[in-house]
Amino acid sequence: MPKILVLNGPNLNLLGTREPEIYGHTTLQDINDRIGKRAAEAGIAVDFLQSNHEGVLVDAVQAANHKYDYIIFNAAAFTHYSIALRDAIAAIEVPVIEVHLSNIHQREEFRHTSVLAPVAMGQICGLGAESYMAALEAIICKLKG
């Protein structure tokens, strides 16, 4: 059975209450539940991890190698400056799809650059919770060959 890892970075545990005008009212648990349901329908196992700590996420990316088929990753603020996460992604063979709830290219200038994008398989942003679902559907298509 294919396996995917869904990683979420800092402050995403506050979804639903944090800046709802930007991030909406959907909680991270709501997103995880939707991903889990659709993944099960597609015959895919899924694990979830959210951390506010960069090192925990680096460890998770490294540990994912040869254990998962894909990673869906919303690195949140770490997207824009974490060379450690960028290097961890580059060091593994597992394809990573970078996701963001908001369109980072329409926000503050400092959010326009992703240091992860050059080593990610792709980037999906601006669709709210549907960014995660679009990444999952892309993985389903890739797994079907």
Are β-strands 96-100 and 45-50 bridged in parallel, bridged antiparallel, or unpaired?
unpaired
Helices (H), 17-129: 20-23, 28-41, 54-64, 83-91
- Could you give phi then psi for residue 74, rounded to 5 degrees? -105, 95
Is 49:8 a contact under the CB 8 Å cutoff? yes
Residue 19: how many other CB atoms lie within 10 Å: 11
Q: Report the amino acid identity of residue 38.
A: R
Active site residues per annotation: 23, 100
24 φ/ψ sector (left φ>0, alpha ψ -120 to 50, else beta): left
